[in-house]
Amino acid sequence: MKLRDVAIGANASIYYKLDFKRIKGVFYPRTTGELSQVIKMASEKGLDITMKGGGSGLSGACTGGDSERVMVSTLQMNDIISVNLKGGYADVETGVTPDELNARIGVDGYKFWVAPSSRDIATVGGLISTDGGGNDAWVNGTMRDNTIWVKMLLSTGDEITVSHEGVRADDSELEARLNEIGMNLGDVASAHGTLGAITKMRLKIKPIDGQRLRGGIAEFEDANALGNALAKMIDKQIPIAYGESIVYAHPHIKSILNPPLLILEYPEASHDVLSDITNMRQLSRNETDAMKAIRLQLPKRNPNEGVQIALFEGYGFHDQSLARLQEAVDRIHALLMENEFVPFAQYGHAPSKWYLGDNTPAYGIIMHSREIQPADKSGIEKFKVVKQIVNLCKELDITPKPEHKWIFSDKTKLDRLRELRSVVGTRFNSFVLDPNCDRILEAMA
Ligand SMILES: Cc1cc2nc3c(=O)[nH]c(=O)nc-3n(C[C@H](O)[C@H](O)[C@H](O)COP(=O)(O)OP(=O)(O)OC[C@H]3O[C@@H](n4cnc5c(N)ncnc54)[C@H](O)[C@@H]3O)c2cc1C
């Protein structure tokens, strides 16, 4: 195995121009004991530590930026330690993927219900660090909702256990200080590896339910009408099992679709309340599967000329931004066109759930976008457009990249991480908190 394979090989983000001279070691620990030695060595040498799971995170956090650092892969810490079906939980090491866990518990009719599209490669340690979720986050929640506790090694050498209730540690003084400032699992969720090394986790598992679902499709006059219908579904807490919105499709692919539209799967008992909200055309099983397949094909299709890219990838529309969805889509389109990117497809999980930087849950659409790539744009030029989109999101009250979080713009989260690091130590993934984080990323784009 080569350094490049670990440091850059699995890095799904657009930030891959790494300065290898600043990476002072690459480690693949198999046990907490080995990991503990790496942390001790790095701390003694004054080096930063970047934890890395599957490398599927899109924020660039798993690269470690430009810090003088050691890289630690968790891919060998992938044991399913024990499963307690009756208790509804499984204890696992950080490097396990949702697919691996489900392969083990599926035979007993149980499931771990966090299902991102990357569930075959993303590790549970990476998923809690980005608070990932799947298409069904509306009913099953995000990673934090499905985690009972995490064990974490700090740069001080201490081990802490963090749950929704607070922190436990052998060092009673440390435990008291962290509980005084209210540290809990919400802080670890989406911390992007800045607090410590997660080693083990207790995850919730539930039986696979056999409820009968209906499929349906609703088409809307404009995006505002779609946003309003979603707001009502959220208000009535309809347990929609699969919800996908297609907000926009380029003329090259529009012939097969008539967006804005919603494809839904929902329990039969919800049919009447859903019909009151929107004009739902019922779909047969085959038709539902065909619509889901079209949605899956959108990111795989190319325009007749050129190629599509995911310049920005994700937006979270919630509260009032749902009612003004059309304006937001138009403004984003205008910004893209000004910069010669042509919108290609916009679609997303809806209704969905994610958390804002202050840990309040948000409900709405997590929309993905694809654009047609201009032939001659450099990485830096693309990054500059991305930054403009982040600013536009703020203006429109949209969460930029809700699934993987846009690191440098979430001031509330960053301030909270700084507060926590004043107690747990500052050795882990420091570039995320650097005031110049955006410039560091830009140089790597
Ligand atoms: C094709 C594709 C589809 C995707 N679909 C989805 C989706 O549907 N939903 C979704 O939410 N995300 C999705 N993602 C994003 C990605 O899968 C998630 O961000 C995931 O959580 C990253 O997990 P990972 O193990 O790859 O972590 P990495 O990318 O390796 O790391 C992510 C962060 O976690 C930190 N970290 C990793 N392990 C530890 C540890 N043990 N201790 C402390 N910090 C740690 C890293 O430092 C980094 O900050 C997708 C990505 C791709 C490429």
Residue 358 pLDDT class (50, 70, 90 cuts): very high
Q: Is the pLDDT of residue 9 over 80?
A: no
Q: What is the mean pLDDT of residues 277-288?
A: 94
H or E, element range at 202: strand 197-204
Which numbered atom of ligand 1 lies nearest the CA of 197? 42
Binding site membership of 144 for ligand 1 (Cβ less than 6 Å): no
* More confident call, 239 vs 313: 239
Return the minimum-mean-pLDDT range out of 82-86, 113-117, 142-146: 113-117
- Does ligand 1 come within 6 angstroms of the Cβ of 142? no
By alpha-carbon position, which residue is closest to atom 5 of ligand 1?
A: 117
- Distance (Å) from CA 250 to ligand 1 centroid: 30
Q: How confident is the model at residue 407 (pLDDT cuts 50, 70, 90)?
A: confident
CB 126 within 8 A of CB 116: no
Query: What is the signed CA dihedral for 101, 107, 113, 115, rounded to 10 degrees?
Result: 70
Q: Is the CB of 188 under 6 A from ligand 1?
A: no
Whether ligand 1 lies within 6 angstroms of the CB of 64 is answered as no
The number of the ligand 1 atom at minimal distance from the alpha carbon of 115 is 8
State residue 169's pLDDT score: 98
Nearest residue (CA) to ligand 1, atom 51 = 56
**CATH class, 213-405 region:** alpha beta
Q: What is the pLDDT of residue 12?
A: 83
Per DSSP, 165 falls in state: S
| Residue 223: per-residue pLDDT | 97
Q: Is 105's pLDDT higher than 70? A: yes
Q: How far is the CA of 14 from the centre of ligand 1 (A)?
A: 14
Name the token pair of 365: 């659409």
Confidence of residue 15 (pLDDT cuts 50, 70, 90): confident
Report the alpha-carbon distance of residue 351 to residue 141 in Å, rounded.
Answer: 12
The answer, yes or no, to whether any atom of ligand 1 lies below 6 A from the CB of 39, is no
pLDDT at 7 over 70: no
Mutate to test the pocket of ligand 1, among 62, 67, 185 (most ligand atoms within 8 A of CB): 62
Q: Is the CB of 95 under 6 A from ligand 1?
A: no
In the chain, CATH 3.30.465.10 sits at 1-209+410-445
3-state class of 373 per DSSP? coil
Region 416-431: mean pLDDT is 97
Per-residue pLDDT of 24-57, as tens digits, reads: 999 999 999 999 999 999 999 999 999 999 999 9
Residue 74 Cβ contacting ligand 1 at under 6 Å = yes
User: Could you tell me if 92 and 203 are in contact, meaning their C-beta atoms sit under 8 angstroms apart?
Assistant: yes
* Alpha-carbon span 163 to 159, nearest angstrom: 13
Task: Tell me the CA–centroid distance for residue 313 and ligand 1, in Å.
Answer: 14
Q: What percent of the chain has pLDDT over 90?
A: 81
Q: Tell me the pLDDT tens digit for each residue of 317-342.
A: 999 999 999 999 999 999 999 999 99
Ligand 1: nearest atom to the Cα of 124? 25
Q: How many angstroms is it from 72 CA to the middle of ligand 1?
A: 14
Q: Tell me: pLDDT of 3 over 80.
A: no
- How confident is the model at residue 312, as a pLDDT? 84
Whether pLDDT at 13 is above 70: yes
Dihedral angle at the C-alpha atoms of 367, 373, 376, 379, nearest 10 degrees? 30
Q: What is the pLDDT of residue 8?
A: 60
So what CATH class is 1-209+410-445?
Answer: alpha beta
| pLDDT score at 313 | 80
d(CA 162, CA 181): 13
Spacing of C-alpha 220 from chain mean position: 28
Query: Which ligand 1 atom is at minimum distance from the Cα of 404?
Result: 19
Per-residue pLDDT at 408 exceeds 80:
yes
- pLDDT of 157 above 70: yes
Please give the DSSP secondary-structure letter assigned to residue 428.
B
Ligand 1 atom 14: the closest Cα is on which residue?
118
Residue 307 — left, alpha, or beta (φ > 0 → left; ψ -120 to 50 → alpha)? beta
Question: Tens digits of per-residue pLDDT, 48-93?
Answer: 999 999 999 988 999 999 999 999 999 999 999 999 999 999 999 9
Average of per-residue pLDDT across 346-375: 94
Ligand 1 centroid distance, CA of 20 (Å): 22
Share of the chain above pLDDT 70, in %: 98
Instruction: Report the pLDDT value the prediction gives residue 14, as an integer from 0 to 100.
Output: 82
* Sign of the alpha-carbon dihedral angle for 274, 332, 388, 61: positive
Tell how far the Cα of 52 is from the centroid of ligand 1, in angstroms. 9
Indicate the average pLDDT of the chain.
93
Whether ligand 1 lies within 6 angstroms of the CB of 429 is answered as yes
Whether the pLDDT of residue 288 is over 70: the answer is: yes
Q: How confident is the model at residue 301 (pLDDT cuts 50, 70, 90)?
A: confident
Where along the chain do the CATH 3.40.462.40 domains lie? 213-405
Whose structure tokens read 């290609």? 344
Between CA 174 and CA 183 the distance in angstroms is 11
Dist. CA 119 → ligand 1 center (Å): 9
Check residue 1 and give its pLDDT. Answer: 59
Does 50 or 292 have the greater pLDDT score? 50
What pLDDT was estimated at residue 2?
62
Secondary structure (3-state) at 286: helix
pLDDT digits (tens, 9 = 90+) for 172-197: 999 999 999 999 999 999 999 999 99
Q: Is 414 in the pocket of ligand 1 (CB under 6 A)?
A: no
